[in-house]
Structures are given as structure tokens and as C-alpha cells.
Amino acid sequence: MKRPPEPIVYFATALSLVTLGDSLLYTILPSYYPHLGLTPLQVGILLSVNRWIRSATNHWAESCYRRYSAPRLIILAFLTGAAVAAVYGLAKSFIVFLAARILWGVAFSFLRQAGLMTAVYSGSEAHLGERMGYFRGINALWRTVGLTVGGFIHDRLGFTPTLLGLSLFSLVAVPLGIFSQKGLAPTKAVPVRTKTGKLSFGVIVGGFTAGLVGPGILMSTLGLVLKEHLGNSVSVGGYAIGVATLTGFLLGFRWFIDGIGSPVLGAAADRAGRQRSISFLFASITVLLVAASLLTLPLFLIPLICAFFVCATALMTLLSAQAGQNGPRSVASFSTAVDLGMSVGPLVGWSIAQLGWPTNSIFLTAGVIYGIGAFIAVSVLGFKPDAGRFGEKA
């Protein structure tokens, strides 16, 4: 593995800083919303609306980058993200919150498009998976640290001072965003082979599947599933561990793998062949999820969930790299597919619970979804198991 290119370090760090306000809302609002005069339904709308907005603005962001100065758009997006955090802290009504969340969804479309293309433009095709892993990993590590510190500050200073402080702190993202574009010509050709057609559509299908199942279905229902199968606590080495603690540990493990594992997994897939690895991961995740629906004892279920997070991190890293290899429009389409999946996923997972079906049906449903994705990827859309590095015949 090589050192991460400076543009990726700068942009991933800047992105993690400016997204702290958004991330903290997912941590704070579920327990603090009565103090803000919000209802549970309003909280649900606020935490999901930005994803729906991103689905509508990703291609607009890509089009703007083709027409206007990329550095100026990046600066504007970072400033908007910092301002939105301040609005969160000062908002006194649902409408103001809603407007801020919509504005953040637009800004994030611009930031994610620029971030992924920064990873693409900062090196050669040969190490694109590794660079995309660094981009995801650095962002995840800084965000994890920021969320921990932000939650600690909130518990001691309160909601408004925490969000206003984060707003000021996130202004550091502006110069970092500027530095990240030094030496990256926004108009230069993509330094990788541009592909369209079936392969691009395969990336879109893969992105929707990954967003639907991972962040969508499983992460939103994990606590529910664990409580039904393990009860209120599970004994480990003679010690009782509460289900909420276990859920937090597993979700933390997912962030840890995103932060530490993404570069390693991306580099390994660069050597093995990204298309081959994508096909293998689709199939592996399908098996893991179906197994988790059948093996519900803690001895089996917890390792299966951890293995899923590892494979899902690798798959999302490689799909991001493949989208970047296909060009900016593919990146926008991929981002939209992921956002749609993440928006629909919680509805699918919680609808299963609402119908009164056993919660292992959630894993089984997720496995079937991935199985369909694996079939499409391998048999229809060009992710051939015998494809060598960069899609060439081995």
C-alpha cells in the first residue's frame, strides 16, 4: 500500500468536518427532540429528507461541475454545510429545520461528487480501489472521532452551543477543500478507461442494492433483530452485555472497518481484479445474510454480522471505484442509486416488523435482495467472475 495522496487526505478530512452537524443529528434528535418541540414523525422526516433531496440533485451537481469552476462550487458547498450546522443550533421550528436539511442535501450532492472525483483524478487506474478506500477510510475515522467528542460536548454544554461550535469549527473545511484541488485540473480527462452501457448500469444496480440493505435495512433494524433473538442482554465470559451496548459495539465495528479496512480491502481488490472481487462479494454477502436468517444463536449471529460489515465495506469501496472509473456521470448515477436505496431501506425493514413477521425475515429478505443483485452482476451486466484486473480477461 502507498501513502494516500494529499488531495484525498485534505478533501476527506474537510468532508468529515462539515458533515459532523448532520451526523450528530442522528445521535441527538432521537432522544432530544421533545426539547426542540418536534414530534416523532417530524424527526423521521428530518432524518430522511436530505437523502431524498440528494437523489434529485446528484446529477445537477455533476452538470454544474462541467459548466462552472469546480473550486468555487466546492467552497460554496463547504460554506453552506457550515452555515447549516449553525441553523440547526438556532432553529426553533420544524419548518426551519426542514429547510436546513433540504439545503444540506443539495450541498452534500456537490461535496460527494467532488470528493469521489478527487479520488479518481489523484492517481492512476491501477490503484483506484486503494485510493477510494483511503477516501472512505479517512472520512470515517475523523467522523467517528468527531461524533464521540461532539456527543460528549452536547451532554455538557447542550444542543445549541454544540451545533454553533461545530459550525465555526467546520469552517476549517474551506481551506482544506481549496488545498485538495491544487494540481487537479477540473477540466482534464478522466485518467481511467471510461465505460458505459451494461457495466455502468451494473454499478447503479450494485449501489442501490448496497444502500438498500446495509445502511437502509440492516443498520436501521439491527437493535430490533438483536433484542428478539438475544433478549435484553447476552452473556459473554460470565458478564451480561445489554443489547443496546451490543448494538452500539456492532455499529461501531462497522465504522471501524470503514476507517481502517477500506484502504486495505481496496488495495487487495486492485491486485485481485475489481470486477472479479465485486462478483465474489455479492455472492459472499448473499450467503452470509441467508445464514444469519437461519443461525440466530449469538455464537453464530454476531460473527456473521461482523463478516457482513467487512464484505459490505469492501463492496461499497469497489463500487465507488468502478463508478469513478466510468466517469463523472456514472459517479452521479451511482450516488443517486445509493441514496435511493438508503431512503427505501428503513421502510422495507420496519414494514417487515410492522407486519409481525419474524425478525430473521429481515436477514432473509436482505439476502434475497443481494442474491438478485449477484445474479444481475454476474450473469447480465458484465461483472464476470473470470474478469481479470480492470475487467480484462485473465
Q: CATH number of the domain that 319 lies in? A: 1.20.1250.20
CA angle 213, 58, 88 (to 5 degrees): 85
Q: Distance between CA atoms of 145 and 156, rounded to whole angstroms?
A: 17
Q: Distance between CA atoms of 194 and 188, rounded to whole angstroms?
A: 13
Binned at pLDDT 50, 70 and 90, residue 227 comes out as confident
Query: Which region among 122-136, 259-273, 379-393 has the lowest average model confidence (pLDDT)?
Result: 379-393
Its domain, for residue 346, covers 198-391
pLDDT of residue 379: 64
Domain match, 159 and 260 both: no
Q: Distance between CA atoms of 227 and 224, rounded to whole angstroms?
A: 5
Query: Which region among 45-49, 93-97, 259-263, 278-282 has the lowest average model confidence (pLDDT)?
Result: 259-263
Q: What is the DSSP letter of 102?
A: H
Query: Does the residue 146 lie in any domain?
Result: yes
Mean pLDDT along residues 244-250? 70
Domain match, 155 and 88 both: yes
Query: Does the residue 385 lie in any domain?
Result: yes
Domain match, 157 and 30 both: yes
Check pLDDT > 80 for residue 217.
yes
Query: Does the residue 191 lie in any domain?
Result: no
pLDDT of residue 377: 65
Check pLDDT > 50 for residue 383.
yes
Burial of 347 (0-12, 13-18, 19+ CB in 10 A): middle
User: What mean pLDDT, rounded, does the chain reach?
Assistant: 81
Max mean pLDDT range (129-133, 178-182, 345-349, 357-361): 178-182
Q: Distance between CA atoms of 21 and 147, rounded to whole angstroms?
A: 9
Domain match, 76 and 209 both: no
Query: In total, how many domains does the chain have?
Result: 2
C-alpha cell at position 315: 463492496
Domain match, 212 and 141 both: no
pLDDT of residue 66: 87
Query: Which region among 204-218, 237-251, 335-349 has the lowest average model confidence (pLDDT)?
Result: 237-251
pLDDT of residue 1: 61
pLDDT of residue 237: 65
pLDDT of residue 223: 74
pLDDT of residue 33: 80
Domain match, 118 and 89 both: yes
Domain match, 154 and 223 both: no
Query: Does the residue 185 lie in any domain?
Result: no
pLDDT of residue 30: 66
Check pLDDT > 70 for residue 142.
yes
Mean pLDDT along residues 334-347? 87
Closest to 169 measured CA to CA, from 145, 198, 146: 146
Query: Does the residue 188 lie in any domain?
Result: no
Domain match, 204 and 277 both: yes
Q: How far is CA 83 from CA 104, 170, 335, in A?
A: 9, 9, 24
More confident residue, 236 or 3: 3
Mean pLDDT along residues 169-173? 92
Binned at pLDDT 50, 70 and 90, residue 392 comes out as very low
Query: Does the residue 354 lie in any domain?
Result: yes
Q: Which of 125, 154, 180 is the last residue of a domain?
A: 180
Closest to 207 measured CA to CA, from 4, 78, 358, 55: 55
Domain match, 205 and 175 both: no
Give bridge partners of residue 234 from the DSSP assignment.
241
Mean pLDDT along residues 108-130? 86
More confident residue, 362 or 202: 362
C-alpha cell at position 181: 484541488
Q: Which of 124, 147, 180 is the last residue of a domain?
A: 180
Q: What is the DSSP letter of 188?
A: S
Domain match, 240 and 387 both: yes
Mean pLDDT along residues 372-389? 60
Domain match, 162 and 213 both: no
pLDDT of residue 234: 65
pLDDT of residue 382: 54
Q: Are residues 342 and 51 in contact, defined by beta-carbon separation less than 8 angstroms?
A: yes
pLDDT of residue 87: 95
Mean pLDDT along residues 123-147? 78
Query: Does the residue 186 lie in any domain?
Result: no
Q: Which of 180, 213, 244 is the last residue of a domain?
A: 180
Mean pLDDT along residues 78-95? 93
Query: Which region among 134-143, 242-251, 382-391 has the lowest average model confidence (pLDDT)?
Result: 382-391
More confident residue, 193 or 311: 311
Q: Distance between CA atoms of 337 and 306, rounded to whole angstroms?
A: 25
Closest to 186 measured CA to CA, from 117, 106, 107: 117
CA angle 331, 334, 338 (to 5 degrees): 135
More confident residue, 313 or 261: 313
pLDDT of residue 244: 64
Q: How far is CA 224 from CA 228, 292, 305, 367, in A?
A: 6, 14, 14, 18
Check pLDDT > 80 for residue 116.
yes
Domain match, 147 and 102 both: yes
C-alpha cell at position 128: 483506484
More confident residue, 391 or 90: 90
Check pLDDT > 90 for residue 103.
yes
Alpha helices (H) along the chain: 6-18, 20-32, 40-67, 70-90, 94-121, 128-157, 159-169, 173-180, 198-211, 219-230, 243-256, 262-272, 274-294, 298-326, 328-354, 360-375
Check pLDDT > 70 for residue 153.
yes
Query: Does the residue 190 lie in any domain?
Result: no
Q: Give percent of the chain with pLDDT exceeding 70.
A: 87
